[in-house]
Structure 1
Amino acid sequence: MVSKLDLYKIFCMVGKSQSFSKAAKDLYMTQPAVSQAIMQLERELDIRLFTRTPKGVSLTNEGKLLFEYVNSAINLIDIGEEKILEFKNLTVGELKIGVGDTISRYFLLPYLEAFHNKYPNIKFKIVNGTTLELCSILKSGEVDIALCNFPLDDSALELRPCMEIHDIFVCGPKYKELLSNPVSLDEVVRQPLIFLEKNSNSRRYVEDYLSSKGIKISPEFELGSHDLLLEFAKINLGVASVTKEFALEYIKKGLLYEVQLTEEIPKRNIGVCFLKSVPLSLASTKFMEIIENKMN
């Protein structure tokens, strides 16, 4: 007799592959057995989960809703099983980290190196995304921890600040007249502005602060990466809102100049976040310890 959990695992595999035959191959089952399992689940739930298409099957609206919850639940079960294995002195296992490209490049790498040197048998899975995307995949169980831009308001997450950062404006030689004296934020936003995309947590933080001062912005350029902000400012396309700690190389080499403000934007943090409701895996705990020890 097929258990309810097995039915859901089969349902999840069919939902991912959108094919009974592909799901059967992945599950080492026959196609009729997979079809029978889906029919049984549909009977028990009294609802249709899939619609047949010329290329296979697709989830119904009800099926999509169920898939979202079942997929998250199965991912969390998998995490539980992995944690049992990790108790063998971290000789096997995987550390799954969600992180943005910029934090990965300028913050994460030394800690990955230190962890790998200490626990060489632990594999890494690195998932990239924006802060909002990382929070979502963290809740689905796809990653153990996420390194994000703070502030972050989510009651389901535990937040551990790791590093203070400062939002500044930088420019190329064309805008050096801005550097003669400290300038107001009002004066800065009159220049062509280069910002991250609106879904960026860093962009929202700066924009919210400016809005609190009655200042609204309309950037000339909205980009998808911090490195592009630096490059666009370097070729004099405008004044860029960047993270100072991640722009120091450009500033020290004289490729960019920091605009001195009459009023600094309040500092914030980057840090680690994880689910309050799910205990950290042993690998995640050891990784957190390495970060905290190095920070101290």
Structure 2
Amino acid sequence: MVSRLDLYRVFCKVGKSDSFSQAAKELYMTQPAVSQSIMQLEKELDIRLFNRTPKGVSLTHEGSLLFEYANSAINLLHVGEEKILEFQNLTAGELKIGVGDTISRYFLLPFLETFHNRYHKIKFKIINGTTSELCSLLKSGEVDIAICNFPLYDPALELRPSIDIHDIFVSGEKYKNIVSKPMKFSEVVQLPLILLEPKSNSRKYVEDFLESKGIKVSPEFELGSHDLLLEFAKINLGIACVSKEFSKDYLNKGLLYEVQLVEEIPKRSIGVCYLKSVSLSPAATRFVEIIEKNSLSDA
């Protein structure tokens, strides 16, 4: 069954060419099929749209009025289709990413650079937040994807782990001798502790693990960023719990020392998450592919 939109497409072609045969060639239809389509549209609208003469056809007054609107609508549809193709070909659009400051700095930046070099016409919108805040942003549609600390338990989200990270304790020069020999967690928590704020997923993971061992923590300092943890530990304000992978510069330069532990904190991961119920845009899909490809090659 021919749709009303198809009838209008035929109508506009005939209106432009003033010829059934020419419209048929441009539409790859037979001339009788074009003629039948015009007759069907005239019947449905209960009005004559074309004057038929031996020399061809011409729009009636009513047909001219309809052509003005129909042709504009068809042109707008073409523009819309072209825009969709641009999004699919990644020559236009926006990618909205939710991410924490630390992950953005130590993990995300190389992937942003790679993606931007390949698809420089895609605009970025980066929104910072904690893991719980980013999950809310995903559900409200304010971001397409989020780069989060795992573990994360939310049945509405698809989780794609990218890299493993390890939580460790570090100290400055003042505590170097104390932490040089393997320590139990019960001994570590007796020292002045520097931790992330309680709402941080990283803090919760370490705290839950220690509590499973019957150990409660009472930090001396609670800070809002990973970089501050490193700086506070460097000036000997206490022992900081940090991500080893994001602290390599301080450790390699001898600015901080890793606390030797009798038992390690189990590794966790960082990865991409997005809503299961919503299909990713072409830009978001390609960005996730870049992260996964490069993460696997680094593994």
**TM-score higher than 0.5:** yes
**Cα offset, 1:258, TM superposition:** 0.2
Q: Which residue of 2 aligns with 1:171?
A: 171
Task: Find out whether 1:180 has 2:162 as its counterpart.
Answer: no
Q: Which residue of 2 aligns with 1:232?
A: 232
3-state SS of paired residue (1:117): helix
Counterparts of 1:152 and 1:85 in 2: how far apart (Å)?
A: 35
3-state SS of paired residue (1:211): helix
- Structure 1, unmatched stretches of 5+, are 1-80
Q: Which residue of 2 aligns with 1:128?
A: 128
Q: Is the 8 A contact 2:87 2:283 kept in 1?
A: no
**Cα offset, 1:166, TM superposition:** 0.1
Q: Is the 8 A contact 1:85 1:93 kept in 2?
A: no
Q: Is the alpha carbon distance of 1:86 and 1:139 closer, same or farther for their aligned partners in structure 2, counting shifts above 3 Å?
A: farther
Counterparts of 2:177 and 2:215 in 1: how far apart (Å)?
A: 22
- Structure 2, unmatched stretches of 5+, are 1-80
* Residues 96-151 of structure 1: per-residue CA shift (max 9 Å, x gap): 00000000000000000000011010000000000000000110000000000000
**Cα offset, 1:88, TM superposition:** 4.2
Q: Is the 8 A contact 2:197 2:223 kept in 1?
A: yes
3-state SS of paired residue (1:178): coil
Q: Which residue of 2 aligns with 1:152?
A: 152
Letter in structure 1 aligned against 2:295: M
Task: Find out whether 1:97 has 2:80 as its counterpart.
Answer: no
Letter in structure 1 aligned against 2:293: N
Task: Find out whether 1:291 has 2:268 as its counterpart.
Answer: no
Counterparts of 1:210 and 1:86 in 2: how far apart (Å)?
A: 51
Q: Which residue of 2 aligns with 1:118?
A: 118
Rg larger in 1 or in 2?
2
* Residues 5-62 of structure 1: per-residue CA shift (max 9 Å, x gap): xxxxxxxxxxxxxxxxxxxxxxxxxxxxxxxxxxxxxxxxxxxxxxxxxxxxxxxxxx
Q: Is the 8 A contact 1:166 1:243 kept in 2?
A: yes
3-state SS of paired residue (1:266): coil
Letter in structure 1 aligned against 2:178: L
**Cα offset, 1:177, TM superposition:** 2.3
- Show the 5 A alignment for 1:140-289: 140-289=140-289
Counterparts of 2:104 and 2:219 in 1: how far apart (Å)?
A: 26
**Identity value in percent:** 74
Q: Is the 8 A contact 2:88 2:282 kept in 1?
A: no
Letter in structure 2 aligned against 1:256: L
**Cα offset, 1:218, TM superposition:** 0.6
Q: Which residue of 2 aligns with 1:14?
A: none
**Cα offset, 1:179, TM superposition:** 2.8
What is the alpha-carbon root mean square deviation over aligned residues? 1.4
**Cα offset, 1:178, TM superposition:** 2.5
Q: Is the alpha carbon distance of 1:139 and 1:86 closer, same or farther for their aligned partners in structure 2, counting shifts above 3 Å?
A: farther
Letter in structure 2 aligned against 1:151: P
Letter in structure 1 aligned against 2:198: K
Q: Is the 8 A contact 1:164 1:267 kept in 2?
A: yes
Q: Which residue of 1 aligns with 2:48?
A: none
3-state SS of paired residue (1:194): strand
3-state SS of paired residue (2:198): coil
Counterparts of 1:180 and 1:240 in 2: how far apart (Å)?
A: 15
Letter in structure 1 aligned against 2:188: V
Bigger Cα displacement from structure 2, 83-92 vs 108-117: 83-92
Q: How many residue pairs get matched? A: 215
Counterparts of 2:249 and 2:221 in 1: how far apart (Å)?
A: 22
Letter in structure 1 aligned against 2:196: L
Counterparts of 1:255 and 1:87 in 2: how far apart (Å)?
A: 47
3-state SS of paired residue (1:255): coil
**Cα offset, 1:180, TM superposition:** 3.0
Q: Is the 8 A contact 1:96 1:126 kept in 2?
A: yes
Letter in structure 2 aligned against 1:113: E
3-state SS of paired residue (1:177): coil
* Residues 141-198 of structure 1: per-residue CA shift (max 9 Å, x gap): 0000000000000000000000000000000011112233111000000000000000
Q: Is the 8 A contact 2:90 2:283 kept in 1?
A: yes
Letter in structure 1 aligned against 2:200: S
Q: Is the alpha carbon distance of 1:219 and 1:233 closer, same or farther for their aligned partners in structure 2, counting shifts above 3 Å?
A: same
Counterparts of 2:181 and 2:290 in 1: how far apart (Å)?
A: 42
- TM-score with structure 1 setting the length: 0.71
Q: Is the 8 A contact 1:251 1:257 kept in 2?
A: yes
